Amino acid sequence: MRSCRTATPGTTPVARSTPPAAPGALLRLRWLLAVLAIIVVLTAGWPLISTTVAGLRPLIAGATVTVGPSATSSGRITVGPGWSVLTSSSNPHEYYLFGRGPVRLLVRYVRLTRAGDRRRLWEGMRQMLRVSYPGLTPGRPRPIIVADGSRGLLAHLSGPGRSGKAAVVAAPDAPFAIEMVMVGPSSSSAVLIAVGLPVLRSLRFPAAAR
């Protein structure tokens, strides 16, 4: 325990202990730091994360990545050249974060737990965008057909200095869906279309092919 001594001329110094930080304050500080870390990963801070901190691992062209808790409850995408996975910001059972230059792509497993969740897929996507991508506004969704023939919804995202694409596809005959959100600077919109959309459309559900 640290202490400090104060004295005036002709008096004996008195030791005063510095009071320890309250346990509740330390817990609140740790919780705040954890929340800030999540915000850095899930918002516009992605393009600013250094490759050293993010644990960038390059992927070869044609590499497949599977997200989900099991082989029968998962989705799989195929990437083209130039993509990397941010390993420290990914959890194979729940989500992957990919990067290609200034573009970031989130692929996320979502369990459908309530009756009618399939009819509310886009509503759930809009809620996620409001929380994790503040400032980005989705346009009107349109149909998307992915590699195994499954159907979902796709919309353009726009916001100050940024643009992107968002898609959600439910697995056939299984209670889960895959959400995909791709974001980059507005100047990279051509890259989003040329190299990003093929990744979104490459989605397959392995269990459906059995």
List the pLDDT tens digit at each of the 210 positions of the chain: 444 444 444 444 444 444 444 444 444 444 444 434 444 444 433 333 333 344 889 999 999 999 999 989 999 999 999 999 999 899 999 999 999 989 999 999 999 988 788 889 999 999 999 999 999 999 999 999 999 999 999 999 999 999 999 999 999 989 999 999 999 999 888 878 888 999 999 999 998 766
Buried (b) or exposed (e) across 87-117, using 16+ Cβ within 10 A? eebbeeeebbbbbbeebbbbbbbbebeeeeb
What pLDDT, on the 0 to 100 scale, is given for residue 209? 65
Question: 6 is written with which tokens?
Answer: 């104060």
What pLDDT, on the 0 to 100 scale, is given for residue 47? 38
Q: Report the DSSP pairing between strands 142-145 and 137-138.
A: unpaired
**Eight-class DSSP state of 188:** G
Which residue from 204, 191, 205 is spatially nearest to 81, judged by alpha carbons? 191
Residue given tokens 């954890």 in the structure block: 34
Q: Domains of the chain, with CATH numbers?
A: 46-209 (3.40.1000.10)
Which residue from 149, 176, 200 is spatially nearest to 71, judged by alpha carbons? 176
CA R_g for the chain: 23
Q: Enter the pTM of the model.
A: 0.74
What pLDDT, on the 0 to 100 scale, is given for residue 13? 44
What pLDDT, on the 0 to 100 scale, is given for residue 56? 84
What pLDDT, on the 0 to 100 scale, is given for residue 157? 96
